[in-house]
Structure formats: structure tokens, C-alpha cells
Amino acid sequence: MKLALARFGIALALCTAVSSPAHAQFGKLGDAVKKKAKEVGNQAIGKEEPKKEETTSASRPSIQMLITTDVLDNFAKGLTAETTSRGLYVKRQQCEQSSIQSNEYMQMMAAQGEEMGKQMKDDMTDAQKTAVMMKAGEEMQKKQLAFVAKKCGPVVERMESSALDSIGAAATGYTPAQYGSLKERITAYCDAVAHGSDTPGNHSMAFTDEEMAALKPRCAALGAQIKRLN
């Protein structure tokens, strides 16, 4: 029965192809036979041809957003989130520098140096003296890290720009691509404004009158905040 269905389907495909104009018959004949054979084969074993989902432009979020006052308010929240994250690193670095310049730290290191001096003997070989110094250096490093951690808390790694952008995007609710596009466009326009122009150096970037009206009064503040993050 299944074989009969397959033969009937292929025959039907042949008839369909033959009924087409002469110049298209030969090109379509093979494709029609293959397609119909596959459909009939799937039907014979209870399978349906999978349907492809169509992706329309409406289902994809637009990367470039229209710059409005509300969008700028939200974008400013993203910059604040970035600044806060970057500030944690800066604060930790400042605390570390202050700690290792303190009298308490200096006294601790001096004591460690005296201890190393006691271990050094005149009859030691150069290799033995080197081993003592290396061990003392490792001990000093451990004590320094522990001392700074006690004063300043855990180490805070410097974040790359891409990581900061992700933090900013999360604060706004925009996708990282949308947030990055906004930052790029705002930076370009505000740089132009700072040089007395309304036209960015990148001429591929265009701004509507409404966008410029919303953005221009806020360029000084937004531009300065973006530069502090770079």
C-alpha cells in the first residue's frame, strides 16, 4: 500500500511538471519529483513536512532607538550604574595605596625584613641565601595581601568596557546592542556640539530635529559622564 502511494505521488509530480511551459519543464521536473517523493514518503510513515517559522522585522528589536527625553532619562540611569561599578574599583585602588603607605604597614614589613636578616648566615652558599630571600619575599607578599584585604575588603577587578556596557544596559532595560548604539550616537553628536557643530564627524549618523532638540541641552552632562567612564 505504501509503495503504491509513493508511485502515485511521483506520477502526480510528473504530470504537474509536464503541464508547465516548455522552457521551465526540464528545470522543475527533477525538483518536483524529489519534493513529491519526500512528501509521500513522510506521509507513508506518518510524518509531516516541518514548517519553517518566518522571522519578520517586527519580531526583531530595533537596535537604533529614537532619542527622546524619556530615552535620555533612562540612558542616564545606565551611565549611573556604570559609574557606580567603576567607582568600586577606583575606591579599592585608592584604599590599597593608602594602606601600603601607612605606618602600620611599614612597621610590619620592617619586622619581616629583620626576620629574614636573622635567617641569613655568613657560611651560607649563594643558593641558600637566594632560597631564604625568595621565601621571605613570598611571606611578605602574603602578609601584604592579607593586610590590604583586612583594610579594604576583597579585590575588585577593573571591568572592561563591554562588561560596563552590560551593566548599563541591564539598568535601562535595553538590550546591550541598543544601549551601545545609544552611547555611540550620543557621544558622536555631543562631541560635534562641543566643537560648535550639529553634524558628527561620522556622516553616516543622522539625527532628526526632535532628537537634536532633546539631546543638545543635555550634551554637557551626558558627554562628561561618558568620558569619565572611558
Identify residue 125 by its one-letter amino acid code: T
**Domain residue limits, the chain:** 2-44, 61-87+158-229, 92-152
Whether the per-residue pLDDT at 89 is higher than 80: the answer is yes
HEC string for 37-62? HHHHHHHHCCCCCCCCCCCCHHHCCC
- C-beta separation of 214 from 69 below 8 A: yes
In the block, residue with C-alpha cell 530635529 = 209
Query: Per residue in 98-124, pLDDT tens?
Result: 999 999 999 999 998 888 888 888 888
pTM over 0.85: no
Whether the per-residue pLDDT at 180 is higher than 90: the answer is yes
Query: Per residue in 153-163, pLDDT tens?
Result: 999 888 888 89
Query: Looking at residue 63, what is its pLDDT?
Result: 79
Q: Is the dihedral of CA 41, 45, 46, 51 positive or negative?
A: negative
Q: Is the dihedral of CA 64, 66, 68, 74 positive or negative?
A: negative
Whether the per-residue pLDDT at 1 is higher than 50: the answer is no
Query: Per residue in 11-25, pLDDT tens?
Result: 434 344 444 443 444
Whether the per-residue pLDDT at 39 is higher than 70: the answer is no
Cα distances from 228 to residues 21, 38, 50, 66, 90, in angstroms, run: 69, 62, 53, 25, 12
Provide the percentage of residues in the chain whose pLDDT is more than 90. Answer: 50
Residue 204 or residue 145, greater confidence: 145
Residue 23 or residue 35, greater confidence: 35
Grid coordinates standing for 46? 506518518
Other CB atoms closer than 10 Å to residue 79's CB: what's the count?
Answer: 22
